[in-house]
Every structure is written in C-alpha cells, then in structure tokens.
C-alpha cells in the first residue's frame, strides 16, 4: 500500500490489527531511508557547536557578534535547508494528492 491515504472520516476506536498497522505505516519515501540523512544532520549540529573555539575567549568579531556565533547560525541554516529538502524531496507517496 503505497498510495497516500486520504483522511478517514472515522475515529480510531482501539482496534488492533497489527498487519494493517504496519502495512499502513510505511510511506513510499521517507527521509530516514537515505542513510546519509541523520548523519548529515548530526554533522551539521557538530559543526555548529563551538567546541573547536578556545574556551573563555571571544575570538574575532563580525557585525556585532563573535564569529563563532555566526558559524553556529550558518550551520543551523544548513540544517534548516537539509530538513526542508528532507520534507519536500525525500518524503512522499507515489500517488500523492495535490
């Protein structure tokens, strides 16, 4: 079952057919299927974490903020872009309703 389910009008009433559960759970494409998706997200978080800067020092300054803060902002922007890419290009169903 790969087609996008349309919203059902029923309300869940505690039935438990687990074959149906797992059959319905898996979409045609999801970001986690790409082996690089989670490592890339973790790498960007690591780059954005100021562990490589000497502690207790401000370091160079640009436009009113320490450069290490700009590095965090830049890495976060890349994480946003990766997440948006994951949502739009890596997640979907074959016959998705527009």
Q: At what angle do helices 37-48 and 67-89 cross, to 10 degrees?
A: 160
The 10 Å Cβ neighbour count of residue 59 is 11
Query: Which H/E stretch holds residue 67?
Result: helix 67-89
Contact flag: residue 17 with another protein (CB under 8 A) = yes
Contact flag: residue 39 with another protein (CB under 8 A) = no
Minimum CB distance to another protein, residue 18 (Å): 5
Minimum CB distance to another protein, residue 10 (Å): 4
Contact flag: residue 34 with another protein (CB under 8 A) = no
Contact flag: residue 60 with another protein (CB under 8 A) = no
Contact flag: residue 56 with another protein (CB under 8 A) = yes
Residue with tokens 């797992």: 22
Minimum CB distance to another protein, residue 38 (Å): 7
Q: How far apart are CA 73 and CA 50, in angstroms?
A: 11
Contact flag: residue 43 with another protein (CB under 8 A) = no
């Amino acid at each position: 079952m790969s087609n996008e389910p349309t919203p059902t009008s029923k309300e869940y009433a505690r039935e438990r057919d687990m074959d149906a559960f797992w059959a319905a759970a898996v979409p045609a494409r999801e970001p986690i299927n790409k082996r690089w998706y989670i490592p890339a997200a973790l790498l960007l978080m690591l780059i954005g974490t100021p562990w490589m800067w000497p502690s207790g020092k401000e370091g160079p300054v640009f436009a009113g903020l320490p450069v290490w803060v700009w590095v965090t902002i830049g890495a976060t922007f890349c994480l946003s872009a990766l997440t948006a890419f994951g949502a739009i290009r890596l997640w979907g169903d074959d016959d998705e309703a527009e």
